[in-house]
Amino acid sequence: MNTLPPPDPERCVSVRRDGERCGGARLDDVDVCWAHDPRLAEKRAEASRRGGRNSSKLIRLQKAMPPRLVPVFERLERAFEDVLAGRITARQATAAAAVARAMIATATAGELEQRVRDIEAARAGDKDAKGAS
Ligand SMILES: [Zn+2]
């Protein structure tokens, strides 16, 4: 039989289907998280409908993304779900997004530099070819 530990004063008191305590971050005014607050049921349903509608768009987006950035995107996606479920705080998600932006900026700058080098190399090659003929 399950004997649940006493609820953490900062964590959601709801019990999940598997019998464990939810553990999500409590909202300010209640002892449950975003995912277990009955007042937010309609918002959750709407977010879930949106998620369904947007999933094919997300798949296309992932295909268009440089492969190196796909894991970053996937982790951000999980962070998004975790914020909605109250498993991480909005502050933690904001910090993760800031780090991800820096990673993406660095990766993008690296790719742009490589493209410029490729173009310059190609142009130098053209000049050499013209000079030789
Ligand atoms: Zn909860």
Tens-place pLDDT, residues 26-49 = 888 889 988 888 888 888 888 777
43 CA from centroid of ligand 1 (Å)? 15
Question: What pLDDT score does 119 carry?
Answer: 94
Sequence-distant (≥ 6) Cβ neighbours of residue 79 within 8 angstroms: 88, 92, 93, 96, 97
5 CA from centroid of ligand 1 (Å)? 15
pTM above 0.85, yes or no: no
pLDDT tens track, the chain, 133 positions:
457 777 788 888 998 888 888 888 888 888 998 888 888 888 888 877 776 656 666 667 666 777 777 778 778 888 888 888 889 998 998 998 899 899 888 888 888 888 899 999 999 988 777 665 5
118 CA from centroid of ligand 1 (Å)? 52
Among candidate residues 84, 114, 111, 83, the one with its CA nearest the CA of residue 96: 83
